[in-house]
Each structure stands twice: as C-alpha cells, then as structure tokens.
Amino acid sequence: MVGVEGLALGPADRARLAHPIVGGAILFSRNYADPSQLAALVADIRALRDPPLVVAVDHEGGRVQRFRDGFAAIAPMRTLGELWDRDVAAAAQEATRVGWTIGHELRALGIDLSFTPVLDLDYGASAVIGDRAFHGNPNAVAHLASALRRGLAAAGMAACGKHYPGHGHVAADSHTEVPRDLRAYDEIAAADLVPFAALVRDGLESMMVAHVVYPAVEDVPAGYSPRWCTDILRGRLGFDGLVFSDDLGMAGAATAGDLVARADAAVRAGCDVILACNELAAADDLLSRWRPGTRVDLERRWARVAGRPGGPCPV
C-alpha cells in the first residue's frame, strides 16, 4: 500500500499504483482540499485497476483526522473514555455513532478503510498515543472499540486495530526513534493484549503492528517478529484477518535496513501488507527490486477490508 503525491494523480502516481504488487493507496492531508476534489481523486485511483485498489486513510479523530473542512470534527477517543467513566451505556452508544460517522463520510467519497480504532492503553507515558487512546482500562478500551467497530460496520467499513501489541507504555515515538518496552510478556498479555483479543473474538477485519521492540519476547520490532505476528497473533489469539505493517518509512522500522529489507522482514514475520507511505522515491525503488512471495489466504483477507454498502446509523 503506497502513498500519493498530491491532490490529483500525476504520471508517477499512476505508474506506482499500476504496479502488480500494489494493492492499495493510503491518503493524507496533502491529498485533501475539499470533498469534491477528494471524490475525484478516489474515483481516479479506483478506475486504475479491476478489481479496484483499496483506498485507506488514518482518520481516527482528534489529532489524527486527515480530512477536516467539509467533514464532521471527531473528538479524540479519550473523550469517549471520559464519558465511559460517567455512563458506560452512553459512552458505548456515542462510540457507535462516532464509528458510523467516520465510516459514512469516508464511504460516501469511495474510501474503503480508516485505520481505526486505536487499541493502545493510555498509561500516561506516550505522547504520540496520548488522547488517541480511549482509556487506560483494557476493558473500557475493548468495550468502546467494539462499539465503534459496530458503527463502522453499519456504515459499510471494516476496522483496523492498532498498534498491536500495544504502543501506550513507551515514551519514545516510533516515527522518530525505536521504542523499547521492557515488560515481561505476561504483563503485556494481562493488560495491553486484552482489547486486541476482544476485537479478534468480535471478528476484527484487520490489524496494524507497532514498530516497538519488546525484548522479553523478541529483540526486533513487533512488525518484524514472527513470535508476535504469527505465534501470538495468529496462534494464541486466533486472528484470521489482514495484518498491516505500520509505515516502513518510520524510524522505528529502520532496524532492518533499507525499504526492501524492511519489507522482507515484515513479510517473513507474518505481515500481509506493507505500508510505504511518504518516501515515494524509496517506494519506487521497492517496487522495482522487491519480489514478495505468495501469501496464504491474502485474497480472502484483503476482500474483508474492501468497502461495502452501508446503512443508517444503528443508534
């Protein structure tokens, strides 16, 4: 899944998106001026291939809402957690409404997937997560994320849980450095994995893996770790959906080498789809040199994140 340069497709974008190992495009604020422009851009992307490429965006609300003018302002997920502390039922209802709003507005313009909900716990340690997290209580996060996913589904949109197995306990920002979470596996499993496991049981369609090292489990970032991506996620948790890497251009992913080496490491670990979002020259080099192998069940898993018709808000 690759990025797009600007507000409309240029020749380099078209060549990149036509490459046979590209399955989708991820959009950012640089790709947005207004709803009509975005609708035209998405239509052009979808017209390039048959079946169409999947179009995705990070559109969580709060600090991470790529499209603003012409879209509903989505509050940070922490506000839902604060409501949960006062009224659990009202918070779940509001989370469903928020999920439907995100899904409905994006699906109306042809976008298939928002990389949401954030399932990280708020330990008060991570500025990059911070108010993106629903709560510090894993049961609250599981409850609210499940409710938000119901809203997304009603609008015709799949969900993507992130950042597996949990980014909230480390202060370092994986965009700029390599975070290391020194806790034992049992401590992580008893708290951080609770929301991920709950959403897997609910039928979560996709998951994004963190560029965080958990040395008590394996001394590589989770996105390069067969133990996290295959043994634990697929084996212990029973996840059968699509696994995305986080953006391989981030500093937290740099431990494996250049972008081709990073892509190889992510796929060997068990990621199905790798993201090359912003360093487009490096993405072009990746497409010219990388030869990924065939992924078991990839077509079926990929189809689960493709857009589908939506209906009215269920609350």
> Quick one: what percent of the chain has pLDDT higher than 90?
93
pLDDT (average), residues 31-52: 97
C-beta of residue 278 within 8 angstroms of C-beta of residue 216? no
297: confidence class by pLDDT, cuts 50, 70, 90: confident
**How does strand 59-61 pair with strand 218-221?**
unpaired
**How does strand 113-114 pair with strand 218-221?**
unpaired
pLDDT (average), residues 119-128: 94
Q: What are phi and psi of 308, to 5 degrees?
A: -145, 165
Tokens of 29: 């604020």
Q: What is the pLDDT of residue 251?
A: 87
2-305 CATH, one of 3.60.15.10, 3.40.50.920, 3.20.20.300, 3.40.50.970: 3.20.20.300
- Work out the angle at residue 245's Cα, subtended by the Cα atoms of residues 29 and 50, and round it to the nearest 5 degrees: 70
Q: What is the pLDDT of residue 295?
A: 76
Tokens of 48: 């390039």
Task: From residue 132, give the alpha-carbon distance in Å to each of 66, 81, 95, 117.
Answer: 14, 10, 13, 9
Q: What is the pLDDT of residue 237?
A: 98
pLDDT (average), residues 233-237: 98
* pLDDT single digits (tens) 10-34: 999 999 999 999 999 999 999 999 9
* pLDDT single digits (tens) 62-100: 999 999 999 999 999 999 999 999 999 999 999 999 999
C-beta of residue 179 within 8 angstroms of C-beta of residue 170? yes
pLDDT (average), residues 217-244: 97
C-beta of residue 284 within 8 angstroms of C-beta of residue 2? no
- Work out the angle at residue 132's Cα, subtended by the Cα atoms of residues 204 and 181, and round it to the nearest 5 degrees: 80
Name 166's Cβ contacts closer than 8 Å, sequence gap at least 6: 119, 120, 121, 181, 188, 191, 192, 193, 196, 210, 212
Tokens of 134: 């629903």
* pLDDT single digits (tens) 249-278: 988 899 999 999 999 999 999 999 999 999
C-beta of residue 98 within 8 angstroms of C-beta of residue 148? yes
Catalytically active residues, by annotation: 175, 246
Angle subtended by helix axes 193-202 and 138-154, to nearest 10: 30
Name 52's Cβ contacts closer than 8 Å, sequence gap at least 6: 45, 46
Q: Is the confidence at residue 115, as pLDDT, over 80?
A: yes
Task: From residue 211, give the alpha-carbon distance in Å to each of 10, 79, 255.
Answer: 31, 26, 10
Q: Is the confidence at residue 174, as pLDDT, over 90?
A: no
Q: What is the pLDDT of residue 176?
A: 87
Cα–Cα distance, 14 to 152 (Å, whole number): 30
Cα–Cα distance, 141 to 162 (Å, whole number): 12
Tokens of 99: 């999920």
Q: What is the pLDDT of residue 21?
A: 93
* Three-state secondary structure call for residue 95: helix
Summary mean pLDDT of the chain: 96
Report how far Cα 129 is from the mean position of its chain's Cα atoms. 14
Q: Is the confidence at residue 233, as pLDDT, over 90?
A: yes
Q: Is the confidence at residue 294, as pLDDT, over 90?
A: no
Beta strands in the chain (DSSP E): 2-3, 24-27, 54-57, 59-61, 64-65, 113-114, 160-164, 206-209, 213-214, 218-221, 242-247, 273-275
C-beta of residue 287 within 8 angstroms of C-beta of residue 22? yes
Tokens of 133: 């997290």
232: confidence class by pLDDT, cuts 50, 70, 90: very high
